[in-house]
A and B are shown apart, each in its own frame.
Chain A
């Protein structure tokens, strides 16, 4: 295996090329638009390019390689059938500016996906345009602001528990709300009384993540929603952890007014660098007038785009969202059906609890309450030997696993947040548990080995401090 891989532009051999183009003929653009000098592209052959990217892919770690237990991210396997669906010519090649008449099938797919998501979340209407979870949050909070403004007062504050998803405070702040933090209780969930103490008529909404970032179900959600509603407020639920509730809990029925879905988490569309994401938002009836335009309206079996919505917050995304992701999510839902979706939640919870049980004697569990799709450990038992969470995470790479989410949620010191998802067979969970146990043993016997990990990866320990201080964004 070759361990160093130069950039393609470093592999340039002047004059080398891997393609042949037809003669341009007479259809060239006007001369003033033509380049005067050749573009500075890498001069490489086809085999150079293929080897370059195959080598890079071999240095990469992905869900197609093994367990990817990033807590709160739901890194589940992306079935290849959904990629095949998205690659169908009429989906993949549809130009976003062709007329509604010519893309009736595509509009129907989005329309039906909206309905499926509405049913899954217990909401009345869904928009599929937001391009990410945080974009969904922004869309939701803009609708909440528009809702209150339409009643004469946009209100000033948004309540957010300290166990909420990390982007929530930013989304509220961008919508010009002051963030009021509520602490979760000793069991790791929200006390209705604590919400009541800060809820008033200047509070626009509560933003809650359920299950929360400790993997715990906010079991007082109904009572909390009632408290917020009583003062005229709305409840926003971050659907980042919806994987745990699929087919089991409809959050809308618990009292949630706005809910976003992460298609790239729960509905298996590619994630991270393989994205883009998609963050549809569901709302209750009272918020429908504020949905972003265009709306897809079904009339006499035809699907029309409607722009005339005077109270709408307007367009949130050019054209039709990240349409390829909508196709994948649609295919995934159709493939699994209601029973299959429910089975996902059951298996995700079972897998997380299998890891939790397997490691609870080895690593400290700061919140012993029963958890759902993920479990949060800390480095408390290992710290005495001088080994920290970061070291444990790095050492996991030597055992062939992607590290879990670390130092989040912030309410757990030295957090290790593990979410295996339903994709994992028992054998891979057993391997992961064995690796974590072996590392705990190393922490006692050879702490230095862990503190200087990883040792077997393409690159050793990266200097994160230098990376943060001397950020270089271009080659």
Chain B
């Protein structure tokens, strides 16, 4: 399983990439897509909606289960990966590059400090698998 070291993570298995200019991209991790199995449906918010750290902003459905996707940070949705909702199976193939879900303009950049670092997330996954 791959976890790029330039990302930040959450215990709900989402990743955050800082894009600069107060903008971040959010997606789900390799662990999340592997646990979900074949993804068949993806529901994302509209651009301009506000999201709040720790609250659900979207839904991902796999052959196993329907799960909420939680916002790793608070802010306004600047862009959504609309084409991905047509081909949600791509999330299983590439959850980091092509598989980003939304871009958020941060309302509280300090929240980034509360996220897990690459090392912390890896330790958390080890704990999960123990």
Contacts and interface: CB of A to CB of B under 8 A. Distances in A.
Partners in one complex: yes
Interface of A: 390, 407-408, 410, 413, 464-465, 468-469
B40 interface: yes
B128 to A, nearest CB: 8
Contact of B63 (A408, A410, A413, A464): A464
A468 B63 contact: yes
A465 B37 CA distance: 10
B40 A413 contact: no
Contacts of A390: 37
Nearest to A166: B65
A89 to B, nearest CB: 45
Contact of A465 (B35, B38, B65, B128): B38
B116 to A, nearest CB: 18
Interface residues of B, number: 11
Given A407-B64, A410-B65, A464 B35 contact: no
Contacts of B41: 468-469
Interface string B19-51: 000000000000000010110110000000000
A468 B65 contact: no
Interface in B75-90: 89
Contacts of A465: 38, 40, 63, 89
18 contacts: A390-B37, A407-B37, A407-B64, A407-B65, A408-B65, A410-B65, A413-B128, A464-B38, A464-B63, A465-B38, A465-B40, A465-B89, A468-B40, A468-B41, A468-B61, A468-B63, A469-B40, A469-B41
B89 to A, nearest CB: 7
Nearest to B88: A469
Interface in B115-129: 128
What is the interface of chain A mostly: helix, strand, loop, or mixed? helix
A192 to B, nearest CB: 23
Contacts of B65: 407-408, 410
Interface of B: 35, 37-38, 40-41, 61, 63-65, 89, 128
A-B pairs with lowest CB-CB distance, top 8: A468-B40, A407-B64, A465-B38, A464-B63, A469-B40, A465-B40, A468-B63, A465-B63
Contacts of A410: 65
Contacts of A408: 65
A413 B35 contact: yes
Given A407-B37, A469-B40, 10 more contacts: A413-B35, A413-B128, A464-B38, A464-B63, A465-B38, A465-B63, A465-B89, A468-B40, A468-B41, A469-B41
Give the residue among B40, B65, B128 with the most A Cβ atoms within 10 A. B40
A160 to B, nearest CB: 14
B92 to A, nearest CB: 10
Contacts of A407: 37, 64-65
A464 B38 CA distance: 9
Nearest to A410: B65
Nearest to B41: A468
A440 to B, nearest CB: 20
A464 B61 CA distance: 12
Nearest to B92: A465
Contacts of B38: 464-465
A429 B65 CA distance: 29
Contacts of A469: 40-41
A183 to B, nearest CB: 11
A465 B90 CA distance: 13
Nearest to A466: B40
Contacts of A413: 35, 128
A465 B89 CA distance: 9
A465 B40 CA distance: 6
A413 to B, nearest CB: 6
A51 B37 CA distance: 40
Nearest to A383: B129
Nearest to B61: A468
Nearest to A408: B65
B125 to A, nearest CB: 11
A463 to B, nearest CB: 10
A468 B40 CA distance: 6
Give the residue among B41, B63, B89 with the most A Cβ atoms within 10 A. B63
A455 to B, nearest CB: 21
Nearest to B64: A407
A413 B65 CA distance: 12
A390 B62 CA distance: 13
Contacts of B128: 413
Nearest to A407: B64
A393 B89 CA distance: 23
B43 to A, nearest CB: 14
